[in-house]
Amino acid sequence: MAKKIAASPSRTKSVALRSSDDTGNGGELHQTAGGSHPALTTNQGIPIVDNQNSLRAFDKGPTLLEDFILREKITHFDHERIPERIVHARGSGAHGYFELTKSLKKYTTAALLSEAGKRTPVFARFSTVAGGAGSVDTPRDVRGFAVKFYTSAGNWDLVGNNIPVFFIQDAIKFPDLIHSVKMEPDRGFPQAASAHDTFWDFISLMPESMHTVMWAMSDRTIPRSLRMMEGFGVHSFRLLDAKGNSTFVKFHWRPKLGLQSTCWDEAVKLAGADPDFQRRDLFESIQRGDHPEWEFGVQLFTEAEAEAFPFDHLDPTKLIPEELVPVQIIGRMVLDRWPDNFFAETEQVAFCPANIVPGIDFSDDPLLQGRLFSYLDTQLIRLGGPNFHQIPINAPKCPFANLQRDGHMQMLQPKGRVNYEPNSLQADTPRETPTTGFRSFEQRPGLGAKSRLRPESFADHYSQARQFFKSQSEIEQAHIAFAFVFELSKVETAAVRLRTLSHLRHIDESLAKRVADGLGVDKLPPAATATVKPRDLPVSPALRLIGKHKPTLRGRTVGILVDDGTEAAQVSALRKAVEAEGARVKIVAPKIGGAKLKGGARLPADGALAGTPSVLFDAVAVLLSKTAGETLASEAAAVDWVRDAFGHLKAIAFSPGAAALLDAGGVVSDRGVLDADDVAGFIAAAKTRQWAREPTLRTLP
Ligand code: HDE
């Protein structure tokens, strides 16, 4: 016979306190070692006596169907997942506010854009596009940059990306694009990667994708942090004034910390070292009060100005260079609160470009027009019915009322007998607001034939791709060439590689040659057929990433490798200087318990060497005694630590005792490798990557 085991730790250790009314569980508190807790109940409010054992017919006997507590708990668990987003499944979000610093009253009636100083609550979600919800944070991928503004006139969703253009011109191609980049259907891999045959097969058959592909192969798609990337609304929108006059607008987000990307090798290693690298970075920065911030900018232009652009601004594969229409900064966004619950907020937030407020309107960009349909449709399947707007994260923070009723998961209990309009039976039913309600721009299009034709003004697929490449610095051009070689080297079908090269010839002949060389292609294929001959547009330095890097350590992290015998004074001098710059220090030691510094004090570690590679830091210091330096020179994790920091172009401060380890890691002297006593020199070097080092250690195409 089975021995009777105490059913529940909380039951055996606790004393149940009955509230005075004794009719429900609400007043019941259990006193446990941890303090007072509300009573554990079923979803029907029935107090649970034992949360450790299911109800069985007899000792070692079968479980009874009658156990409604077990069935409720397991059933709820079985239904805990909802379909993940078909794109942008992997994402991290946070609450904050938008503050208008410059009024656009002249152009728009939108309250959030007209009262300088006004703060509007926001929820922002950043995402990768291709990977599943459980995929890693650092693949090469476009990042989503979606912001829900809870304005006083309803919710406005600006659902953008971290690059200003898109792969396709017409919404009808979106399922094809996404199918091509996601896992291949027969084999179910690769996860979160564009480096495979189906993506490049599709792309190389879509000349319109070439401009965005250039961006995708640039370091923009391997950002260092979500706090260090730009955001773009991509499409043109309209601002409408009180008379209904329209001004076109493109929206921009600019990170306060400047732009920064990882090196490709670093991004790959980060995927293993910390799959949640960017989510953790966002979480930790908010938790410690170092609130991520972006400036909000607009490019404003009239219809007549748009007519004179050398491209069609309604084509989402084109951008408007800042040199042509400057970006005016009109506000800022600060993210200052992590969600209480990831699922309830970040997972259930439902963005929709069709959520727009009076004073803003859509343009006729055919991609935007398709999106206006897609997002509501996807939420119906993802969140299960038409009442998802009642989920707290999606509900407007201003009053909202209409006569829509019922449906799955209706949470509201409307009163009265009237659920139609017009009506006369109930005085408090909602009515139209003719003066302040949402109005569309009164467009009077000259009617052409109903057709499925692309406008001729969308036909130039190469000029802006060429402009982008020519506008990059040498380092960035080399990285783009490298990314093409890397991605195409993963493509098994030689014809697809050649077809891609045939497009690159229109963008830049030298780029095509470099990529061909990197792939081992001896003879370039003929250039692809171009409907419109590519033109040379003026170089636009604003398109550079490195140019937008700020020489700052703010928001960055410096890793210090220590071991027994490390000089305490050296650690504290460095820590002081790094923290004074607004950066953090993390101590890494062979053991998590830390190291016994010279003089005897133990310095606890933030990470153990084996699990805390240098890819997690922006700059590093190796502060070791001679004995420790020599011992660690034969420890692979330590050798990799310094080799990678050097290879990823980071500043390295070192104590003389670290020499043997630096030698083992192939670290050679350059302007970014500094004596730890030169604290000022190290801080200056740590504010940027050591670009001059790159050609000495990596063969770039
Ligand atoms: Fe999306 N996109 N998209 N997209 N998109 C979705 O909506 C879609 C496009 C973007 O953090 C889906 O709620 C179509 C451009 C972001 O929750 C879906 C087309 C841009 C997010 C959808 C596009 C975006 C999405 C999937 C071509 C940048 C994540 C889940 C017409 C301007 C939002 C969801 C979040 C999400 C459709 C193109 C950005 C399926 C049909 C262009 C940031 O509705």
Render the burial of 110-135: b for 16+ CB within 10 Å, e for the rest: bbbbbeeebebebbbbbbbbbbeeeb
In this structure, the strands spanning 584-589 and 652-654 are unpaired
Q: Candidates 142, 230, 375, 377: which one to mutate for ligand 1, based on the most atoms within 8 Å of Cβ?
A: 375
Is the pLDDT confidence value at 2 over 50?
no
Evaluate whether 94 touches 339 at the Cβ level (below 8 Å).
yes
Give mean pLDDT, residues 303-325. 97
**Ligand 1 within 6 A of CB of 125:** yes
Ligand 1 atom nearest the C-alpha of 233 is 32
Residue nearest atom 27 in ligand 1 by C-alpha distance: 171
CA proximity to 278, closest of 183, 169, 144, 396? 144
Q: Which residues are catalytic?
A: 88, 161
Query: In degrees, to the nearest 5, what angle opens at C-alpha 478 toward C-alphas 218 and 665?
Result: 100
Q: Candidates 85, 125, 169, 389: which one to mutate for ligand 1, based on the most atoms within 8 Å of Cβ?
A: 85
Owner of token pair 């500043």: 651
- 28-70 pLDDT, tens digit each: 555 555 568 999 999 999 999 999 999 999 999 999 999 999 9
How many angstroms does the Cα of residue 375 sit away from the middle of ligand 1?
Answer: 7
CA proximity to 50, closest of 88, 87, 108, 4? 4
CA proximity to 534, closest of 620, 612, 459, 473? 459
Ligand 1 atom nearest the C-alpha of 145 is 43
- 57-103 pLDDT, tens digit each: 999 999 999 999 999 999 999 999 999 999 999 999 999 999 999 99
CA distance 28 to 664: 64
Ligand 1 atom nearest the C-alpha of 168 is 27
Query: In the prediction, which pLDDT does 599 show?
Result: 82
- Write out the two tokens for 37: 């807790």
Residue nearest atom 17 in ligand 1 by C-alpha distance: 351
**Ligand 1 within 6 A of CB of 171:** yes
CA proximity to 119, closest of 98, 96, 104, 103? 98
Evaluate whether 365 touches 315 at the Cβ level (below 8 Å).
yes
Ligand 1 atom nearest the C-alpha of 316 is 42
Is 223 in a helix, a strand, or coil? strand
How many angstroms does the Cα of residue 155 sit away from the middle of ligand 1?
Answer: 17
Is 675 in a helix, a strand, or coil? strand
| Domains of the chain by start residue, with CATH | 2-73 (4.10.91), 87-170+210-390 (2.40.180.10), 463-547 (1.20.1370.20), 553-696 (3.40.50.880)
Residue nearest atom 3 in ligand 1 by C-alpha distance: 371
Residue nearest atom 25 in ligand 1 by C-alpha distance: 88
Is the pLDDT confidence value at 7 over 70?
no
How many angstroms does the Cα of residue 87 sit away from the middle of ligand 1?
Answer: 7
CA proximity to 656, closest of 636, 638, 630? 630
- What's 301-358 look like in SS3? ECHHHHHHCCCCCCCCCCCCCCCCCCCEEEEEEEEEECCCCHHHHHHCCCCCCCCCCC
In this structure, the strands spanning 557-561 and 619-622 are parallel
**Hey, which residues does 653 pair with through a beta bridge?**
621, 674
Query: In the prediction, which pLDDT does 585 show?
Result: 98
Render the burial of 207-240: b for 16+ CB within 10 Å, e for the rest: bbbbbbbbbbbbbbbbbbbbbbbbbbbbbbbbbb
Rg (CA), the chain: 29
How many angstroms does the Cα of residue 129 sit away from the middle of ligand 1?
Answer: 9
**Ligand 1 within 6 A of CB of 353:** no
CA proximity to 371, closest of 360, 383, 379, 359? 379
Query: In the prediction, which pLDDT does 31 show?
Result: 54
How many angstroms does the Cα of residue 669 sit away from the middle of ligand 1?
Answer: 47
Give mean pLDDT, residues 652-673. 98
How many angstroms does the Cα of residue 93 sit away from the middle of ligand 1?
Answer: 15
State the amino acid at position 255 in one-letter form.
P
Is the pLDDT confidence value at 23 over 50?
no
Q: Which of 259-268, 441-450, 555-564, 641-650 has the lowest mean pLDDT?
A: 441-450
Query: In the prediction, which pLDDT does 282 show?
Result: 98
Is 631 in a helix, a strand, or coil? helix
**Hey, which residues does 334 pair with through a beta bridge?**
97, 293
Residue nearest atom 16 in ligand 1 by C-alpha distance: 144
**Ligand 1 within 6 A of CB of 371:** yes
**Ligand 1 within 6 A of CB of 159:** yes
Ligand 1 atom nearest the C-alpha of 234 is 32
**Ligand 1 within 6 A of CB of 613:** no
State the amino acid at position 93 in one-letter form.
G
Give the orientation angle of helix 174-181 with respect to helix 197-204, to 10 degrees: 150
Query: In the prediction, which pLDDT does 699 show?
Result: 87
Give mean pLDDT, residues 286-309. 97
Q: Is the pTM of this model over 0.85?
A: yes
How many angstroms does the Cα of residue 236 sit away from the middle of ligand 1?
Answer: 16
Q: Candidates 92, 125, 159: which one to mutate for ligand 1, based on the most atoms within 8 Å of Cβ?
A: 159
Query: In the prediction, which pLDDT does 334 show?
Result: 99
Residue nearest atom 6 in ligand 1 by C-alpha distance: 87
Query: In the prediction, which pLDDT does 21 show?
Result: 39
Q: Is the peptide bond before 190 cis (omega within 30 degrees of 0)?
A: yes
**Hey, which residues does 619 pair with through a beta bridge?**
558
Give mean pLDDT, residues 232-237. 98
- Write out the two tokens for 667: 């670290």
**Ligand 1 within 6 A of CB of 139:** no
Query: In the prediction, which pLDDT does 432 show?
Result: 95
- Write out the two tokens for 260: 């920064």
CA proximity to 148, closest of 421, 385, 343, 354? 354
- Write out the two tokens for 403: 């006569």
Give 404's contacts (C-beta < 8 A, 6+ positions apart).
386
**Hey, which residues does 81 pair with through a beta bridge?**
none
**Ligand 1 within 6 A of CB of 378:** yes
CA proximity to 645, closest of 675, 609, 668, 618? 618
Is the pLDDT confidence value at 162 over 60?
yes
Calculate the CA 113 to chain-centre distance.
Answer: 25
294 half-sphere exposure, CB direction, 13 A CA radius = 27
CA proximity to 335, closest of 126, 499, 640, 525? 126
Give mean pLDDT, residues 360-364. 97
Tell me 537's DSSP state.
P
Looking at the chain, how many residues does it have? 701
State the amino acid at position 298 in one-letter form.
V
CA distance 567 to 375: 58
- What's 136-161 look like in SS3? CCCCCCCEEEEEEEEECCEEEEEEEE
Element (H, E) at 587: strand 584-589
Is the pLDDT confidence value at 279 over 80?
yes
Exposed/middle/buried for residue 105 (C-beta within 10 Å: 0-12, 13-18, 19+): middle
Ligand 1 atom nearest the C-alpha of 375 is 44
Evaluate whether 237 touches 108 at the Cβ level (below 8 Å).
no
Owner of token pair 């499944």: 89
**Ligand 1 within 6 A of CB of 166:** yes
- 668-682 pLDDT, tens digit each: 999 999 999 999 999
Give 258's contacts (C-beta < 8 A, 6+ positions apart).
228, 548, 549, 550, 552
**Ligand 1 within 6 A of CB of 237:** no
Is the pLDDT confidence value at 17 over 80?
no
CA distance 134 to 90: 7
CA distance 356 to 424: 31
Q: Candidates 278, 371, 373, 383: which one to mutate for ligand 1, based on the most atoms within 8 Å of Cβ?
A: 371
Banded pLDDT at 445 (limits 50, 70, 90): confident
CA distance 52 to 6: 10
**Ligand 1 within 6 A of CB of 133:** no
CA proximity to 253, closest of 318, 319, 162? 162
